[in-house]
Amino acid sequence: MSKVAVVTGSAGGLGRGIAEKLCSNGFSVVLHDINEELLNKTVEELKGKNFDVIGVKGDVSIREDQFNLVKEAVDKFGHLDVFVNNAGIDAVTPFLLIKEDELNRLFRINVNGVVFGTQAAAEQFIKQKTKGKIINACSIAGHESYAMLGTYSATKHAVRSFTQTAAKELAKHQITVNAYCPGIAKTKMWDRIDQEMVKYSDDLKPGEAFEKFSSEIALQRYQTPEDVANLVDFLASEASDYITGQAILTDGGLVYR
């Protein structure tokens, strides 16, 4: 029987990379995204590689959607082994200009989504009476807060905190909860961050914000989805069974904790 994983926010970007890596290692994977058109396209492309996948459209910020996502996974594949809370969004705003809608939107998706996904997965693992793995998307911004990324950084600090709390409470059920903390990747999210940084700067030109952050990476290259997927793949494997409550940096040498 193949292992089953759910990956939220997996129609593109790092989430897709994670889903594809798990598929390549024999997992049946439930892809999930709010963008139905891109989700369907990604599902078809992965099926074209003979991967065992389905797609479920949903909004991670809605608790009912997260529980439905787990139900869809179990209805299709019979059980659940791994739940990856990958979905998240960013915002670039000077601290004095942060508004209520930005705070609500980012916390609703980045934090509430992780809480609801963790609850839904944990309930299923307990019901199955099996061990389980919950893996959350944190960030270098969950270890160090960045100028212009105040709200985003705050949400990722919250993810790290909830990862630790859930790990402590769920350990008695043999459920591990960990987080992966990416750095700087050439994704659409970082393209948006670069554009916004330029908008609020007097001297930055397009691409320079990304280059500035990237230049500080010790390994002298920006991140690829595979770099992140390799860590998540390890956390999803039995090799990580004795690790819980950790937020592990995978950033090429940028933040040291």
Q: Which helix (H) or strand (E) holds 77?
A: helix 63-77
Q: How many other CB atoms are found less than 10 A from the CB of residue 9?
A: 27
Q: Is 74 annotated as a binding residue?
A: no
**Rounded-to-integer distance, Cα 252 and Cα 135, Å:** 20
Q: Is 90 annotated as a binding residue?
A: no
Q: Is 182 annotated as a binding residue?
A: yes
Q: Is 222 annotated as a binding residue?
A: no
Of 152, 200, 222, 256, the active-site residue reads 152
Q: Is 152 annotated as a binding residue?
A: yes
Q: Is 150 annotated as a binding residue?
A: no
Question: Which of 8, 11, 5 is CA-nearest to residue 187?
Answer: 11
Question: Which of 236, 115, 113 is CA-nearest to residue 180?
Answer: 236
Q: How far apart are the first and last CA of the chain?
A: 38
Q: Is 253 annotated as a binding residue?
A: no
Q: Is 86 annotated as a binding residue?
A: yes
Q: Is 94 annotated as a binding residue?
A: no
Q: Is 33 annotated as a binding residue?
A: yes
Q: Is 185 annotated as a binding residue?
A: yes
**Rounded-to-integer distance, Cα 178 and Cα 137, Å:** 9
Q: Judge whether 7 and 28 are in contact, CB under 8 Å.
A: no
- Alpha carbons within 13 angstroms on the beta-carbon side of residue 170 total 28
Q: Residues with Cβ < 8 Å from 112, sequence gap 6 or more?
A: 60, 61, 63
| Phi, psi (deg, nearest 5) at residue 56 | -130, 120
Q: Is 3 annotated as a binding residue?
A: no
**Rounded-to-integer distance, Cα 92 and Cα 86, Å:** 20
Q: Is 242 a catalytic residue?
A: no
Q: Which residues are catalytic?
A: 152
Q: Which residues are annotated as a binding site for NAD(+)?
A: 33, 59-60, 86, 152, 156, 182-187
Q: Which residues are annotated as a binding site?
A: 33, 59-60, 86, 152, 156, 182-187
